Amino acid sequence: MSSVQEVLHQQSRKISDDIFQPYDEASRLLLDENLVWNEDFDAIRKALALALKECSTTKNLNPWFLEVAFRLIDTKRADA
């Protein structure tokens, strides 16, 4: 691979890895035992964390799970 192609390949890989960052961040929040969750939500949070982590590790860009991840990590909401 030429140096230009290698740089482009590295850049595309970096960009694609950044896309999956919200999955990791949301998964970590869901598994954080120091955070207090609603009892109803607590029943599903570990399963949801595993699903989000799976999207990250398998590079599955699921738009619905990505929306969930962004909502979980959104600190600008009034009720966040």
- For residue range 38-62, list pLDDT tens digits in order: 888 889 999 999 999 999 998 888 8
Q: pLDDT band at 71, cuts 50/70/90? A: very high
Query: 3-class SS at 22?
Result: helix
Give the model's pLDDT for residue 18.
80
C-beta separation of 22 from 66 below 8 A: yes
Domain ranges across the chain: 20-73
Give the model's pLDDT for residue 14.
65
**Total number of residues shown for the chain:** 80
